Structures are given as C-alpha cells and as structure tokens.
Amino acid sequence: ETGVTQTPRHLVMGMTNKKSLKCEQHLGHNAMYWYKQSAKKPLELMFVYNFKEQTENNSVPSRFSPECPNSSHLFLHLHTLQPEDSALYLCASRSTSGRDTGELFFGEGSRLTVL
C-alpha cells in the first residue's frame, strides 16, 4: 500500500458509543494531522503530531482523544459525541525533513454521522 489510508471510510454512531478512527501512512513522513471538515466550512485543524509528540491541540473538546503510537499511525478515539460532530475527518501526513514546504498528503477521510 502507498499513501495515507483511513479506516473506516464511513461510521455511524450513537451519542453514547465509543469508537475510533484509524490512519496509517506509508510515506515515511514524521508529522501527522487530524482535520475536521464540515459542510460549507473550511478544514479545521484538530491535532498535530511530530515524531509521535503532540505539538498542536486546537482547543478540541475532550470527547476527541488522539493517539499516535508511532510516526506511521494515528488514531482518533471518539466518546460521547454530539450530532454537531458529524463531519468528514481527514488525516494527513507531511515530511519535515529536507525541503519542507508544508505540503500535506491526505487520506480519503472518515465520514462520521452521530445520531
């Protein structure tokens, strides 16, 4: 496999459920991101990890809990979500070595619906 892979592609959950989104990158990158994309809104940065360390938390509610066990894997654990959390969740990776231009490589996204 190549690129950035996100699973599941679609997820429907109730407000009391616990679920997780998974992201895996095969590009050898060392930075990974979670973005949220809601209808008619720009991509919203949620979290950034660099060499497994969280470097950005964009005031995200604690019902979203990220985990980065290594530079290739990123998870977003979901618990007690609200209907307004329904959105497309995008994972991205970036190489910070060499000539870094901030270019992001995105996965296909996980479409989350909270009932």
Partner 1 sequence: SQKIEQNSEALNIQEGKTATLTCNYTNYSPAYLQWYRQDPGRGPVFLLLIRENEKEKRKERLKVTFDTTLKQSLFHITASQPADSATYLCALVGGSYIPTFGRGTSLIVHP
Question: Footprint of partner 1 on this chain (CB under 8 A)?
Answer: 4, 6, 33, 35, 40-43, 45, 48, 56, 88, 90, 92, 94, 96, 100-109, 111
Identity of the residue, 82 or 96, whose beta carbon is nearer to partner 1 in the bound complex: 96
Q: Show Cβ contacts of residue 59 under 8 Å, excluding neighbours closer than 6 positions.
A: none
Burial 76-101 (b: 16+ CB within 10 A, else e): bebeebeeebbbebbbbbbeeeeeee
Q: Which is nearer to partner 1, 56 or 115 (CB)?
A: 56
Minimum distance between the CB of residue 89 and partner 1, rounded to whole angstroms?
10
Residue 44 or 67: the one with the smaller Cβ distance to partner 1 is: 44
> Based on CB atoms, which residue is closest to partner 1, 13 or 88?
88
Task: Give dist(CA 18, CA 24) in Å, integer.
Answer: 20
Nearest distance, CB of residue 97 and partner 1, angstroms: 12
The nearest distance, CB 74 to partner 1, in angstroms, is 14
Residue 45 beta carbon to partner 1: minimum distance, rounded to whole angstroms: 6
Asked whether the beta carbons of 54 and 48 are under 8 A apart, the reply is yes
Among residues 19, 25, 27, 21, the alpha carbon closest in space to that of 7 is found at: 21
3-state secondary structure of 86: coil
